[in-house]
Structure 1
């Protein structure tokens, strides 16, 4: 396959037409048209549907564009870095991350990253919804317990778990006693299944307050209004300081925070640099590391 023809195809696909691509790159339209036609002939498929005034990618063209655009961009970045006399990562890095992890760690971590790599323009979007990395142009996403996806690979950053906590002022319930709790707005359970050093324990609960944020729930629980199930990383510092008491661990699946990136793309120097900063912050992946990171001093 002719790499130059592939680059010209990507240029045309990105700009949505041969004319617009020719103007953007200051290239002859005839050259771009010929190169795209040669690539179609070599592959034996049509990459564009050609109308009178419009040029649209076929299904095969869309698949080729999605797989090659990032690769060609990374090759260009590498060539630029080598030509400038070094391999320091440059360019824009787009990351999508969930709300709670962003609030707990990413403000300070993003600043540390920028101080280490000033040539990279880091852009972090906070959202809990699943995102399409290719369609939405993200280089890396951070997700909690992501569904299996053959198009993505990655690594676990933090392995967390839910724990039942309450203010020391709130008396631990006797067997069969109903406990006032602060719950998430979407929660529907009527009992907690907990495990302790003394064995398993079922706690009947009465959600007297429902809140939409785990940080809001933690702050409410501190007042003694009720107990709550919260990630250990969010309450470890309060448990150590005696602000909260731990009743037990919830018998629920672990909470895994993953960093994910497309499996069919070369791992860019920008993504590698960001992963290195994440790994340095949480080398063991323990929830207590995330808790300590929130309290750590900003480097001078």
Structure 2
């Protein structure tokens, strides 16, 4: 099998695996179903292993097929990246970039910097999904993803964007009406706004004792509102619904305007959450991805709201 036939066969195999049938792969490649089947059979013969088990209804990858598909994707991506690299030398970064981001961070911080990115690189186009669910970047076809929280170890490359400090806050109107809590224990007598993650778990509030010990507080029993979107929690606190634990990066404009005040700052433990930018590990990173990563990291580094130090909150304590 010469190199041209090999590339044609690999393309047929990858498209058949993705589409689930030879006929669907043929429509994508402009080939007949039998031509795609013949290409895959030739590839199997050249490799000396069966890559797919065929039935009248579907295709099922063998163990060898699954392993080969992973490597084939990397090879095809490397070819695409090589083409992009040549084009970039003439035109600058080009092509479509797919980004997955949490809703709050995406609307508040990513969306405002995208016009500058597109102005610098006119040949780029960006497709953004605002989605808080856990994704498989390779399977779902994303180039970049932004995720916040306690980020687990991953095969992805993770670039830190900022720490995600949280604080306990309420509106001046609520505090004037209900009083300012001076100890964590007093929270049980207040109206609280809790956040529920998509998996159903409610976010706990952490407090540090005089001896340095950390205790957790479940806001559920005293919660008058339980919301899944962090930006909605901030808005509810601004509207006087109750006391809430909110991300400082989302609340900062409201602290500056006086719409929110910090409470229990001396006791509250801000946690170890962070926001990261992730992308698949590749031997050759596409120029469009590399240029976007560099631009966004510079833009986020210059965004003061993302890097508020906890000491700065002392000026906004009720």
TM-score above 0.5, yes or no: yes
Q: Give the deviation of 1:165 after TM superposition.
A: 1.0
Q: Does 1:270 align with 2:288?
A: yes
Q: Does 1:103 align with 2:111?
A: no
Contact 1:166 1:244 in 2 (8 A): yes
* Equivalent residue runs for 1:1-300 within 5 Å: 4=4, 6-16=6-16, 39-40=43-44, 43-50=47-54, 56-79=60-83, 82=86, 86=90, 88-145=92-149, 147-169=151-173, 170=175, 171-175=179-183, 176-177=185-186, 178-185=189-196, 192-195=205-208, 206-247=222-263, 248=265, 250-251=268-269, 253-264=271-282, 266-283=284-301, 287-289=305-307
Q: Extract unaligned runs of 5+ from structure 2.
A: 309-318
Q: Give the deviation of 1:188 after TM superposition.
A: 5.0
SS across alignment from 1:7:
helix
Contact 1:160 1:255 in 2 (8 A): yes
User: How many residue pairs were aligned?
Assistant: 290
Task: Note closer, same or farther for the CA distance 1:266–1:56 as it changes in structure 2 (3 Å cut).
Answer: farther
Contact 1:5 1:36 in 2 (8 A): no
Q: Deviations over 1:170-214 (max 9, x none)?
A: 03224443222222255657x8443599x8898896222333332
More strand by share: 1
TM, length-normalised to structure 1 = 0.76
More helix by share: 2
Task: Note closer, same or farther for the CA distance 1:6–1:224 as it changes in structure 2 (3 Å cut).
Answer: same
Root-mean-square deviation (Å):
4.0
Task: Note closer, same or farther for the CA distance 1:210–1:54 as it changes in structure 2 (3 Å cut).
Answer: closer
Task: Note closer, same or farther for the CA distance 1:286–1:27 as it changes in structure 2 (3 Å cut).
Answer: same
Q: Extract unaligned runs of 5+ from structure 1.
A: 291-300
